[in-house]
Copies of this chain bind each other. A is one copy, B any other.
């Protein structure tokens, strides 16, 4: 297969352990096998990603499920073609010394939020819990929630159990995490599932590229879950600054949440669609099924081959 000049993938943040499947696929030549010369780009500000992917400046991007929906609602033509991270548990993160123990303890505190929709969502959560949105201070901190807590700019902020909580615990000591899904009895944090997204222009121009990209990436995901130590070592070879006990721990904590088949989970898209409509991010009549497709997710060609089995007694 001829190798196209450059294919670009813009990560949702700085390169970190939950991006291992992509780095493993690259290091092992899976993209090259698929005829793809992949350039992996990082962003200093996660809020820039939607626009850059949406305008078609890169071929592929990564973004949370809710952001992908928000991007479409704002008129950017992007589509999710698969999942990197499934339902990473997310919550309101604080140091134990903050004395925040339940959600109602945010009264009088400084609460960090990520970006544009952040305040609306924290306020919605508060009002569901019967808390006056004027009774706490909201502070925009982007993704640097741990740094903002350490600099005493905020008392609590939103973070992943497998990432920011590990960071804060390693750097500062005991933490608490009030699970957002549990606060509302929601049952999952699929909002935060990290998706592979493409601009419409790429989908139209080069569906074969999309298919090849997903096949190579799926090989990387399989390698990561089946050979975790080797995969992490490959990540560290590409990004030596991640070679530390803390990032290793973040990697291990991320293992249960890697999507092994890269599938878009219909039930999760339906949930997040309902929530986006509740927040008035999305029009009531919006059809969520136009935002994602499993057309490019590699599937075993089961019907074409003779099946075999394993581990049978």
Binding site for B on A (CB under 8 A): 46-47, 64, 66-67, 70, 86-87, 89-91, 113-118, 121, 124-125, 128, 142, 158-162, 180-181, 183-189, 191-192, 222, 224-226, 228, 252-253, 255-258, 260-261, 271-272, 274-275, 278-279, 299-302, 305-313
Contact = CB atoms under 8 A, between A and B. Distances in A.
Contacts of A66: 309, 311-312
Number of copies: 2
B308 A183 contact: yes
16 contacts: A66-B309, A66-B311, A67-B313, A115-B312, A121-B312, A181-B310, A184-B307, A186-B308, A187-B300, A191-B312, A224-B256, A225-B256, A228-B253, A252-B252, A272-B309, A274-B307
A279 B115 contact: no
Contact of A312 (B118, B271, B274, B305): B118
A308 B90 CA distance: 12
Contacts of A192: 310-311
A309 B191 contact: yes
Contacts of A258: 256
